Amino acid sequence: MTVRLLTLAIFAAPLFAQAPGPRDAAARIIGHQVVESRAFEKLRHLTDRIGHRLSGSPQLEQAVAWAQAEFRRDGLTNVRAEEVQVPKWVRGVERCEIVAPANHRLALLALGGSVPTPAGGLTAEVVEVRTFEELERLGEAAVRGKIVLYGQAMVRSGEDGPGYGTVASLRTRGAVAAAKLGAVGALIRSLGTASFRLPHTGATHYEEGVAQLPFAALAAEDAELIHRLLEQGPVKVRLELGCSTGPDVPSANVVAELPGREKPEEIVLIGAHLDSWDVGTGAHDDGAGCAHVMDTMRTLVALGLKPRRTIRAVLFTNEENGLRGGRDYFERHKDELERHVAALETDSGGFRPQGFGWTAGEGADRLLRELVAPLRAIGADGLRVGGGGADISPLARARVPLLGLRVEGTRYFDYHHTEADTLDKVDPTELAQGTAALAVLTWGLAEHAETLPRPPLRAEDAEAQGQRRRPER
């Protein structure tokens, strides 16, 4: 046993002295993850033996088949693949260089969903902005025929400046905003927190009726180089992207269940996304989440814990470039969503767990404090209002209480959506701790006599429902 595991066992040991009941179950779960976790083993197979899992790729479908077989091997029932049509986007050639005032080869990745450049590439001057407001102030006269560079730097969590949630809109909507002012292409400083000349990919979107521009992410150092050169005069760049988008192809959400012994019709959902980008192997995003979910289910079976309610594991497809898996789950299961008593998602990496964010009705904090109390031994009992995840976000329309595993994520955006998101960045002990945290709260939600109060209907969902109910005129 390593020093880290031994330390965790010492902290968990006092829990075993508790009287039989929920805390006893929590102690058994934590102890099992200390000495018998299989989370890292599962993640190693997913990343090293299967690899990246972009929607539409053979690797994603290999992962779908493997996950079903693994759930069955671990003793789960009602294991199935629920088919989902997903986009098929292929990266192709990627080249970019400064051609004036000096020659520099740039490191970049096309953004997911980007269109290609014209054959042979395109060459144009660059204009730099940090925000959409700056772009609007430049106006069409300054932007037409140019390549727009969004040069806003992202900072680490807790530092002053824009974080991921602020700058991500530049990536998703940047091509549309540039096209509306006549640009011929777009570049963005990678949304990341490390400077290792490592470009970060991610999804971008287009708007019907607006010209579709090729769009790519530059390594931070190369965005800084262009910024310095622009301070001295015009900069001209040659960009070549060979991206292509084909017809939708079939994939699937992988579902497995641990049936409830008293209220099998009530469901606690735990989920992560099985797909990844086509760079790196998706170890933190979101292979770690899949390992959390899969080994949570294995642990409960191995310990003979039979919950009051059904626990349903879902490994969603196509989170990264379409969210088709999450949306399909909502539509396919909408008739039973009123019986979903909670949905938990883990999609923040395999780092040390800190607790959970939650979105539920008034008074939920009292029950949650009780359920996470045993996790104080591993420092994972923190609670914060506001939680969920992309794949379970559609369930908010059915007022399902949503929760998300929170981890110590200051390094997450060093690797996120890059070639560096590989298994060596994941600590096995921290991954086991995250699995223990997810398993303890999952068990508590499925076993406790009470359920979380449902949140009020969001204003936008209430308005949408009102629109659907109105008779046609």
State the catalytic residues. Answer: 319
At residue 449, what are phi and psi to the nearest 5 degrees? -60, -35
